[in-house]
Amino acid sequence: MPDQLNLAPEPTPEPAQKPGGAHRPARRSVVLALATVLVGLVAGPLLGWLWETIWTPTQGLVVQHQWYVVDSDLTYDLDGLRHQFSGTMLYTVLAVPAGLVLGAVAALLSRRDEVLTLLAVVVGSAALGLGMWATGTWLGPQDPQVLAATATQGTSLPDHLSVGSWSVLVCAPLAATLAVTVVFGLLPRLHVPTRRPG
């Protein structure tokens, strides 16, 4: 009988956190990472269209089935040759700010998982740069050197839109990575307070 009096119900321990509470920051980081990649995939073709729209092609003539940037008197046009680099410069002018904005916004919105954010920014900005190049060159004129092989003497053909060197395609990823590095390095990291039981 005395033993029965000493038996008291043990208090039920309260859960420290809700089951899904600990996974919310990680899930949010994944969603923001996917959104960063998606923005790069969408922005690339749009910037490619803008790149091709505001670019002015150089005109050249077909001489012995070769395309040359020449004047009407068939002398070399040095200004026209320099103008051929306008596509590369214009690509850089558009891709670098786009990469900076993408990297900075992604880093500011998602700072709990820096590695995932950096990876998403690199992938998203690379998709942006490649999408911009692919769309712009697809919308622009065809390669005049290819067309000149079957064109008649004296045919006027516009230059094709290109970047001059494959290394230019890393402009957007480099700019985006720089933006992420600056945001993570200069701004204090956000610390999310954890709830304590009780």
- Helix ranges (H only) for the chain are 2-6, 24-54, 78-83, 86-109, 114-139, 144-148, 171-186
Terminal C-alpha separation, the chain: 36
Compute the distance between CA of residue 184 and CA of residue 142 in angstroms, rounded to an integer. Answer: 43
Q: What is the pLDDT of residues 84-118, one digit of tens each?
A: 578 899 999 999 999 999 999 999 998 778 899 99
Residue that is written with structure tokens 């480099």 in the block: 174
CA dihedral 183, 35, 117, 185 (to 10 degrees): 0
Per-residue pLDDT at 60 exceeds 70: yes
The pTM score is: 0.75
H-run or E-run covering 67: strand 66-68
Summarised one tens digit per residue, pLDDT across range 138-150 is 999 888 888 888 8
